[in-house]
Structure 1
């Protein structure tokens, strides 16, 4: 894997807006991709992990989730964003970042740009194998 990858929930309007912000404002060589279009097996990720939090898979195979993934993304960007990433890794900030991240994840359907599909928990998704075996009503 030659490029780092930042994986987000493409079904969530809020998450998609955040990913668009990253792509427009944060210079990074990482791929920013919805998990629904990512090769999760190649990245070593599961759907459950991706539904729980954003994910980072570094070019070197390192992995991080949630605010740690955001810190990793920022750490590979322009200088002022690297400072923000370092701040997010600072122990007291990191200790507060996880509860804040979980609160946002639980309430993301209420945030700007959100849609009802942003709400957690999700209903179980049908796999492509399930879709092939279902008969029309």
Structure 2
């Protein structure tokens, strides 16, 4: 794996809820990372697949290790430092990690119902409006 200058957060750019979450992170969480929608990312170079990126948010650390879902959020918060670091570390240790994973899956599986979510969030990426334009 090639070392990266900065970690990368990969999210679903077609999902309004995911995009709102990323905007919150950009505004309030001081992490030095590249943030990219999976639809515009070189997923092969990042060591992941579109199927995985559709399923969960991804964190690719400087060493090229890929984490997903609640683990990815925990690693992002840990990298942010300060009080965010404490939250990120805590949510990666059992039993808090179990709760974080369950909460993440609950939200991810219902993101179309979350604030900012739309019906398109429930569709597989290939069936969303505009998907053919990116193919």
The normalised TM-score by structure 1 is 0.87
Query: 1:65-80 counterparts in 2 under 5 A?
Result: 65-80=68-83
Measured in 1, the distance between the counterparts of 2:105 and 2:55 equals 9
Measured in 2, the distance between the counterparts of 1:68 and 1:106 equals 16
Match in the other structure for 1:21? 24
When the two structures are aligned, how many residues end up with a matched partner?
A: 129
The normalised TM-score by structure 2 is 0.88
Match in the other structure for 1:103? 106
Q: Bigger radius of gyration, 1 or 2?
A: 1
Query: 1:116-127 counterparts in 2 under 5 A?
Result: 116-120=119-123, 122=124, 124-125=126-127
Runs of 4+ in 1 over 3 A off after TM superposition: 123-129
Aligned-pair CA distance for 1:124:
3.7
Q: Unpaired segments of 5 or more residues in structure 2?
A: none
Query: 1:22-37 counterparts in 2 under 5 A?
Result: 22-37=25-40
Verify the 8 A CA contact 2:126 2:132 in the aligned structure 1. no
Q: Unpaired segments of 5 or more residues in structure 1?
A: 132-137
| CA displacement 1:24-62 (0-9 Å, x = unmatched) | 110011111111111111101100000000001101112
Match in the other structure for 1:134? none
Match in the other structure for 2:47? 44
Aligned-pair CA distance for 1:78:
2.9
